Amino acid sequence: MKEFFGIGGYARAPEGYMSFGHLFFVTALMAVTAASAVILGRRYRSRPRRDKKRVLAVAAFLIDGLELFKIVFLCFREHNPMQWLYLLPLFLCSIQLITIPMAAFGKGRFEEAALDFVLIFGLLGALLGTYGAGQNYAAYPVLSFDNVVSGLTHAISGFCAIYIGVSGLCSLKKKNVPVTFAILSGFCLSAYIADVLIPYNYMFLIRGDGTPYDIVYGLTGGSPVFYPLTVYGLFLVYIAVFYLITNIIKRRKTTQQGAPRHGA
Protein backbone atom coordinates (compact mmCIF):
# COMPACT_ATOMS: atom_id res chain seq x y z
CA MET A 1 0.00 0.00 0.00
CA LYS A 2 2.90 2.35 0.71
CA GLU A 3 4.14 1.71 -2.83
CA PHE A 4 0.67 2.20 -4.32
CA PHE A 5 0.28 5.58 -2.61
CA GLY A 6 3.82 6.62 -3.53
CA ILE A 7 4.82 7.45 0.03
CA GLY A 8 8.55 8.12 -0.08
CA GLY A 9 8.49 7.98 -3.89
CA TYR A 10 7.66 5.15 -6.27
CA ALA A 11 10.21 2.33 -6.38
CA ARG A 12 8.79 1.05 -9.67
CA ALA A 13 9.73 2.61 -12.97
CA PRO A 14 6.79 3.94 -15.00
CA GLU A 15 5.65 1.54 -17.73
CA GLY A 16 5.48 4.54 -20.03
CA TYR A 17 2.97 6.47 -22.11
CA MET A 18 1.15 4.23 -24.63
CA SER A 19 2.72 1.14 -23.09
CA PHE A 20 0.71 -2.08 -22.91
CA GLY A 21 -0.01 -1.45 -19.23
CA HIS A 22 -1.26 2.07 -19.90
CA LEU A 23 -3.50 1.06 -22.81
CA PHE A 24 -4.85 -2.06 -21.08
CA PHE A 25 -5.73 -0.15 -17.90
CA VAL A 26 -7.48 2.80 -19.56
CA THR A 27 -9.28 0.59 -22.10
CA ALA A 28 -10.67 -1.60 -19.30
CA LEU A 29 -11.67 1.54 -17.39
CA MET A 30 -13.43 3.07 -20.40
CA ALA A 31 -15.21 -0.22 -21.19
CA VAL A 32 -16.65 -0.41 -17.66
CA THR A 33 -17.53 3.30 -17.83
CA ALA A 34 -19.41 3.02 -21.13
CA ALA A 35 -21.22 -0.20 -20.19
CA SER A 36 -22.42 1.09 -16.82
CA ALA A 37 -23.53 4.42 -18.33
CA VAL A 38 -25.53 2.73 -21.09
CA ILE A 39 -27.13 0.22 -18.70
CA LEU A 40 -28.17 2.86 -16.18
CA GLY A 41 -29.17 5.32 -18.91
CA ARG A 42 -31.54 2.79 -20.49
CA ARG A 43 -32.90 1.77 -17.09
CA TYR A 44 -33.70 5.36 -16.10
CA ARG A 45 -34.72 6.67 -19.52
CA SER A 46 -38.47 6.36 -18.83
CA ARG A 47 -38.22 7.48 -15.19
CA PRO A 48 -39.13 10.98 -13.94
CA ARG A 49 -36.44 13.63 -14.33
CA ARG A 50 -35.73 13.78 -10.59
CA ASP A 51 -34.97 10.04 -10.58
CA LYS A 52 -32.62 10.41 -13.52
CA LYS A 53 -30.72 13.16 -11.73
CA ARG A 54 -30.14 10.99 -8.65
CA VAL A 55 -27.54 9.05 -10.63
CA LEU A 56 -25.77 12.34 -11.40
CA ALA A 57 -25.97 13.29 -7.72
CA VAL A 58 -24.11 10.11 -6.75
CA ALA A 59 -21.56 10.78 -9.50
CA ALA A 60 -21.11 14.36 -8.24
CA PHE A 61 -20.36 13.20 -4.68
CA LEU A 62 -17.94 10.55 -5.98
CA ILE A 63 -15.94 12.81 -8.29
CA ASP A 64 -15.71 15.70 -5.82
CA GLY A 65 -14.97 13.36 -2.91
CA LEU A 66 -12.15 11.65 -4.80
CA GLU A 67 -10.67 14.97 -5.88
CA LEU A 68 -10.83 16.44 -2.38
CA PHE A 69 -9.19 13.32 -0.92
CA LYS A 70 -6.46 13.53 -3.58
CA ILE A 71 -5.68 17.17 -2.78
CA VAL A 72 -5.48 16.55 0.98
CA PHE A 73 -3.43 13.38 0.56
CA LEU A 74 -0.93 14.89 -1.89
CA CYS A 75 -0.35 17.87 0.42
CA PHE A 76 0.45 15.31 3.14
CA ARG A 77 2.59 13.08 0.90
CA GLU A 78 4.63 15.92 -0.49
CA HIS A 79 5.02 17.54 2.96
CA ASN A 80 3.88 20.77 1.36
CA PRO A 81 0.69 22.48 2.59
CA MET A 82 0.82 24.71 -0.51
CA GLN A 83 0.67 21.74 -2.90
CA TRP A 84 -3.00 22.56 -3.46
CA LEU A 85 -1.91 25.47 -5.68
CA TYR A 86 -0.97 22.86 -8.30
CA LEU A 87 -4.16 20.87 -7.81
CA LEU A 88 -6.82 23.51 -8.47
CA PRO A 89 -9.83 22.43 -10.59
CA LEU A 90 -8.66 24.46 -13.57
CA PHE A 91 -8.08 21.81 -16.21
CA LEU A 92 -10.69 21.08 -18.88
CA CYS A 93 -11.55 17.81 -17.17
CA SER A 94 -11.65 19.51 -13.75
CA ILE A 95 -14.52 21.76 -14.81
CA GLN A 96 -16.75 18.69 -14.39
CA LEU A 97 -16.11 18.90 -10.63
CA ILE A 98 -18.42 21.93 -10.74
CA THR A 99 -20.67 21.30 -13.75
CA ILE A 100 -21.70 17.76 -12.70
CA PRO A 101 -23.03 19.04 -9.31
CA MET A 102 -24.67 21.94 -11.20
CA ALA A 103 -26.35 19.43 -13.51
CA ALA A 104 -27.42 17.23 -10.58
CA PHE A 105 -28.73 19.91 -8.22
CA GLY A 106 -29.25 23.01 -10.37
CA LYS A 107 -32.48 24.42 -11.74
CA GLY A 108 -33.59 26.17 -14.91
CA ARG A 109 -31.29 27.41 -17.60
CA PHE A 110 -28.08 26.87 -15.60
CA GLU A 111 -29.05 23.25 -15.05
CA GLU A 112 -29.67 22.80 -18.78
CA ALA A 113 -26.38 24.50 -19.69
CA ALA A 114 -24.50 22.35 -17.15
CA LEU A 115 -26.06 19.18 -18.58
CA ASP A 116 -25.04 20.33 -22.06
CA PHE A 117 -21.50 21.09 -20.89
CA VAL A 118 -21.06 17.68 -19.26
CA LEU A 119 -22.42 15.98 -22.38
CA ILE A 120 -20.17 17.98 -24.70
CA PHE A 121 -16.91 17.79 -22.75
CA GLY A 122 -17.33 14.82 -20.40
CA LEU A 123 -16.41 12.06 -22.83
CA LEU A 124 -13.79 14.18 -24.60
CA GLY A 125 -12.16 14.95 -21.25
CA ALA A 126 -12.32 11.29 -20.25
CA LEU A 127 -10.50 10.21 -23.40
CA LEU A 128 -7.91 12.99 -23.20
CA GLY A 129 -7.34 12.32 -19.50
CA THR A 130 -6.79 8.59 -19.98
CA TYR A 131 -5.49 7.81 -23.47
CA GLY A 132 -3.96 11.26 -23.89
CA ALA A 133 -2.45 11.71 -20.42
CA GLY A 134 1.18 11.49 -21.48
CA GLN A 135 2.30 13.69 -18.60
CA ASN A 136 0.91 11.20 -16.04
CA TYR A 137 1.75 7.81 -17.51
CA ALA A 138 5.29 8.86 -18.36
CA ALA A 139 5.88 9.97 -14.76
CA TYR A 140 4.06 7.41 -12.58
CA PRO A 141 3.47 3.63 -12.69
CA VAL A 142 0.10 2.65 -14.18
CA LEU A 143 -1.25 1.13 -10.96
CA SER A 144 -0.43 4.02 -8.67
CA PHE A 145 -2.47 6.46 -6.62
CA ASP A 146 -1.77 9.32 -9.05
CA ASN A 147 -2.93 7.46 -12.14
CA VAL A 148 -5.74 5.41 -10.61
CA VAL A 149 -7.46 8.41 -8.99
CA SER A 150 -6.95 10.47 -12.16
CA GLY A 151 -8.39 7.61 -14.21
CA LEU A 152 -11.42 7.27 -11.94
CA THR A 153 -12.28 10.98 -11.95
CA HIS A 154 -11.96 11.16 -15.73
CA ALA A 155 -14.04 7.98 -16.04
CA ILE A 156 -16.81 9.56 -13.94
CA SER A 157 -16.87 12.52 -16.34
CA GLY A 158 -17.18 10.15 -19.28
CA PHE A 159 -19.85 8.14 -17.48
CA CYS A 160 -21.95 11.25 -16.85
CA ALA A 161 -21.69 12.36 -20.48
CA ILE A 162 -22.86 8.99 -21.83
CA TYR A 163 -25.53 8.64 -19.16
CA ILE A 164 -26.95 12.09 -19.90
CA GLY A 165 -27.17 11.24 -23.60
CA VAL A 166 -28.71 7.79 -23.15
CA SER A 167 -31.16 8.77 -20.39
CA GLY A 168 -32.47 11.74 -22.39
CA LEU A 169 -31.54 14.41 -19.84
CA CYS A 170 -29.84 16.72 -22.33
CA SER A 171 -31.63 19.52 -24.15
CA LEU A 172 -28.88 21.12 -26.29
CA LYS A 173 -31.06 24.17 -26.88
CA LYS A 174 -29.56 26.99 -28.93
CA LYS A 175 -30.38 29.51 -26.21
CA ASN A 176 -27.97 27.70 -23.88
CA VAL A 177 -24.95 28.16 -26.17
CA PRO A 178 -23.97 31.56 -24.65
CA VAL A 179 -24.13 30.08 -21.13
CA THR A 180 -21.96 27.13 -22.19
CA PHE A 181 -19.50 29.56 -23.79
CA ALA A 182 -19.50 31.64 -20.60
CA ILE A 183 -18.72 28.62 -18.40
CA LEU A 184 -15.76 27.67 -20.57
CA SER A 185 -14.53 31.24 -20.96
CA GLY A 186 -14.62 31.87 -17.22
CA PHE A 187 -12.56 28.77 -16.52
CA CYS A 188 -10.06 29.51 -19.29
CA LEU A 189 -9.54 33.03 -17.96
CA SER A 190 -9.14 31.76 -14.39
CA ALA A 191 -6.71 29.08 -15.56
CA TYR A 192 -4.60 31.57 -17.51
CA ILE A 193 -4.41 33.97 -14.55
CA ALA A 194 -3.33 31.07 -12.30
CA ASP A 195 -0.76 29.98 -14.89
CA VAL A 196 0.81 33.43 -14.84
CA LEU A 197 0.69 33.98 -11.08
CA ILE A 198 1.74 30.56 -9.71
CA PRO A 199 3.13 29.79 -12.43
CA TYR A 200 1.70 26.50 -13.74
CA ASN A 201 0.09 25.02 -16.85
CA TYR A 202 -3.62 24.75 -16.11
CA MET A 203 -5.81 23.98 -19.14
CA PHE A 204 -2.47 23.43 -20.94
CA LEU A 205 -2.58 27.10 -21.93
CA ILE A 206 1.20 27.51 -21.57
CA ARG A 207 2.50 24.33 -23.28
CA GLY A 208 1.42 20.84 -24.31
CA ASP A 209 3.32 18.83 -21.67
CA GLY A 210 3.33 15.58 -23.66
CA THR A 211 -0.40 15.68 -24.42
CA PRO A 212 -2.17 16.11 -27.80
CA TYR A 213 -2.00 19.85 -27.14
CA ASP A 214 1.63 19.56 -28.28
CA ILE A 215 0.30 19.49 -31.86
CA VAL A 216 -1.23 22.95 -31.42
CA TYR A 217 1.89 24.12 -29.59
CA GLY A 218 4.03 23.07 -32.56
CA LEU A 219 1.70 24.62 -35.14
CA THR A 220 1.76 27.98 -33.36
CA GLY A 221 5.50 27.84 -32.74
CA GLY A 222 4.92 27.97 -28.99
CA SER A 223 3.75 31.58 -29.19
CA PRO A 224 2.76 32.81 -25.70
CA VAL A 225 -0.10 34.71 -27.37
CA PHE A 226 -1.33 32.61 -30.29
CA TYR A 227 -0.97 29.23 -28.58
CA PRO A 228 -3.41 29.89 -25.67
CA LEU A 229 -5.77 31.81 -27.97
CA THR A 230 -5.78 28.91 -30.43
CA VAL A 231 -6.49 26.37 -27.67
CA TYR A 232 -9.35 28.55 -26.38
CA GLY A 233 -10.66 29.06 -29.91
CA LEU A 234 -10.65 25.31 -30.59
CA PHE A 235 -12.76 24.76 -27.47
CA LEU A 236 -15.34 27.27 -28.72
CA VAL A 237 -15.35 25.73 -32.20
CA TYR A 238 -15.85 22.28 -30.69
CA ILE A 239 -18.88 23.51 -28.68
CA ALA A 240 -20.39 25.21 -31.73
CA VAL A 241 -19.88 22.17 -33.97
CA PHE A 242 -21.36 19.85 -31.31
CA TYR A 243 -24.51 21.99 -31.01
CA LEU A 244 -24.76 22.32 -34.80
CA ILE A 245 -24.50 18.60 -35.51
CA THR A 246 -26.93 17.58 -32.76
CA ASN A 247 -29.50 20.17 -33.88
CA ILE A 248 -29.25 18.97 -37.49
CA ILE A 249 -29.84 15.40 -36.30
CA LYS A 250 -32.82 16.51 -34.17
CA ARG A 251 -34.37 18.41 -37.10
CA ARG A 252 -34.01 15.39 -39.38
CA LYS A 253 -35.66 13.13 -36.81
CA THR A 254 -38.51 15.61 -36.39
CA THR A 255 -38.96 15.83 -40.17
CA GLN A 256 -38.96 12.05 -40.55
CA GLN A 257 -41.47 11.59 -37.71
CA GLY A 258 -43.76 14.24 -39.17
CA ALA A 259 -43.56 12.96 -42.76
CA PRO A 260 -46.77 11.21 -44.02
CA ARG A 261 -46.55 7.44 -44.41
CA HIS A 262 -47.45 5.94 -47.78
CA GLY A 263 -48.63 2.47 -48.56
CA ALA A 264 -51.50 0.17 -47.80
**What one-letter code names the amino acid at 254?**
T
Cα separation, 97 vs 157, in Å, equals 9
Model pLDDT for residues 145-172, shown as the tens digit of each residue: 999 999 999 999 999 999 999 999 987 8
Q: How far is CA 216 from each of CA 169, 184, 220, rounded to the nearest angstrom?
A: 34, 19, 6
pLDDT for 68 equals 94
Cα separation, 120 vs 45, in Å, equals 19
pLDDT for 262 equals 55
pLDDT for 264 equals 42
pLDDT for 261 equals 56
Distance separating the N- and C-terminal Cα atoms of the chain: 70
pLDDT for 259 equals 59
Question: In which residue ranges of the chain is pLDDT below 50?
Answer: 264
Helices (H), 46-90: 49-77
Nearest-Å Rg of the Cα atoms of the chain is 20
The phi and psi torsions of 220 (rounded to 5 degrees) equal: -95, 5
Contact call for residues 10 and 3 (beta carbons, < 8 A): yes
Contact call for residues 190 and 154 (beta carbons, < 8 A): no
pTM over 0.75: yes
Contact call for residues 144 and 14 (beta carbons, < 8 A): no
Model pLDDT for residues 83-101, shown as the tens digit of each residue: 888 888 888 888 999 999 9
